[in-house]
């Protein structure tokens, strides 16, 4: 997971990396880690997040562990393509909140030689595929699925269970609204 160069031409080849999983699984933490390593390697980086995500900061991507990195909030995915000119590594956080066009944007960036690292929820609170994430995983060169720990039994958690009765798909929140659950505990919680 690095910028590759074609040995014959010296031209960099792009790639698409997707980091996915439930809430509280470390997706943003892993995105920040990869972006900081790219900076250490003196690669030109830019990280984007949806403008609607202001939970911790309007101008930074912040993990639940409070690690952060400067970011550019954007209203839609086409803005990423406009703002990522001449960048070696592009990071995109909370990809599930972007429009479906994000897939085309990511492919275009990779085809231009950019390493693209995308982090986002694979499923919504109902356990359904979330936004452009399924399509991003399909076109990715690398997919990393991270897991949280079930807060009820301690098993591996892959579901983001909503504690609130609100039914809209996009509802920004933290531990006050969501909890990570394993399959068994999620099924028990949603059947009640």
The per-residue pLDDT of the chain, averaged, comes to 87
Distance between CA 58 and CA 12 in Å, rounded? 32
**Structural domain boundaries of the chain?**
4-146
Give residue 171's pLDDT. Answer: 61
- Say what the pTM is: 0.86
Residues with a catalytic annotation lie at 94
Q: What is the pLDDT of residue 165?
A: 77
Q: Is residue 4 scored above 70 in pLDDT?
A: no
pLDDT in tens, 46-77: 999 988 765 555 565 555 566 666 778 999 99
Specify which residues 19 forms β-bridges with: 119, 144
Which tens digit of pLDDT belongs to each residue from 132-176? Answer: 999 999 999 999 999 999 999 999 999 999 987 776 666 655 567
Closest-CA residue to 94 (of 33, 156, 45, 32) = 32
Q: How far is CA 161 from CA 106, 124, 133, 166, 191, in A?
A: 29, 9, 18, 12, 12
Instruction: Name the fold adopted by 4-146.
Output: Rossmann fold (3.40.50)
pLDDT 10s digits, 82-105: 999 889 999 999 999 999 999 999
């Amino acid at each position: 997971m690095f910028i590759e160069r074609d040995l014959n031409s010296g031209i960099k080849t792009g790639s698409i990396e997707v980091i996915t999983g439930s809430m509280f699984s470390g997706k943003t933490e892993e995105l920040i880690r990869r972006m900081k390593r790219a900076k250490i390697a003196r690669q030109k980086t830019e990280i984007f997040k949806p403008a609607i995500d202001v939970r911790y900061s309007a101008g930074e991507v912040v993990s639940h562990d409070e690690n952060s990195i400067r970011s550019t909030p954007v209203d839609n995915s086409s803005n990423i393509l406009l703002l990522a000119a001449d960048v070696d590594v592009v990071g995109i956080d909370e990809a599930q909140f972007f429009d479906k066009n994000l897939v085309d944007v990511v492919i275009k960036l990779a085809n231009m030689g950019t390493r693209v690292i995308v982090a986002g929820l694979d499923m919504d609170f109902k356990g359904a595929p979330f936004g452009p994430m399924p399509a991003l995983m399909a076109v990715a060169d690398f997919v990393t699925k991270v897991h949280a720990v079930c807060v009820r039994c301690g098993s591996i958690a892959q579901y983001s269970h909503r504690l609130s009765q609100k039914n809209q798909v996009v509802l920004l929140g933290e531990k006050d609204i969501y909890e990570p659950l394993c399959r068994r505990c999620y099924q028990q919680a949603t059947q009640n």
